[in-house]
Structure 1
Amino acid sequence: MKKQLLLMLAVAMSLSTFAQKDELKAAEKALKSGDLTAAKSAVDQAESVIANDEKLRSKFYFLKAQTYYDIAKKNPSLDANAYDVAAKSFQDLITYEKETGKAKYTVEAEPMLNSLIGDVSQKGIKEYQEKDFSKAKESLYKTY
């Protein structure tokens, strides 16, 4: 009885790992093809199960950051908070990789994060010039 229970538990764990990998692969494929809606959907689905998998966490944070960054730049109507989600995901990625000592995606993420900061700063300057001071204040505050 114990052997059967252990076997079923092992099978369930391996299936959940495959599901996580499939969702991340789907997000990666959708990003490459430019389908931001599918990429966002795949990343959002993976988020609920990725917390338990240490191996895929860096890749998840990177794909989430990349997805939301692309949404913010190309199709902001998909998510009004895309810049915020992307920035948080970049920060989570960099923090996680510093903790683990494995900087696999940080090298790619840092220039994207700097670009994101520049974009938000430019957005704030544009809002200020348009005399939308409350939005300008929020955007410029986010850059710090």
Structure 2
Amino acid sequence: MKLCSLPLHRLSPFLDSSGILRVGGRIMHASLPYNQKHPALIPKRHPFTVLLIHHYHKENHHPGATTLQQLIQQQFWIMSVRSQLRFCIPCYRIRPKAVQPVMGNLPKYRLQQIKPFHQTGIDYAGPISLKELS
């Protein structure tokens, strides 16, 4: 019987005294609040999770995915925050579109058919060493 998936297993989850699934870790002795040391683990496809992500996203004026993930992870741990941000209409409208420039025509000398090594060059000077004057 498989208890949890590999990505979830890496988080060292445990049930606290209230029956909430929380993230374990190595910072047990840190001087942080309990919710920051062991954030509640929330499923990524639950309707509450979607509402929570959108709430934090709107309250903080549409920050980027990394900032939003850091804000949420102060209390909750969600496996995939970035995938939920694709559905924010204002962010989608503001996101710049990459424009592919139109390539110009090549000059005539670049299109001439000539044999290889028709023009060659040799560097007669070699490496030049300069001394600093002090």
Larger radius of gyration: 2
TM-score, normalised via structure 2 length: 0.26
Counting helix residues as a fraction of each chain, which structure ranks higher?
A: 1
Compare relative contact order (CA 8 Å, sep 6+) and give the higher one, 1 or 2: 2
Q: Identify, as 1 or 2, the structure richer in strand.
A: 2
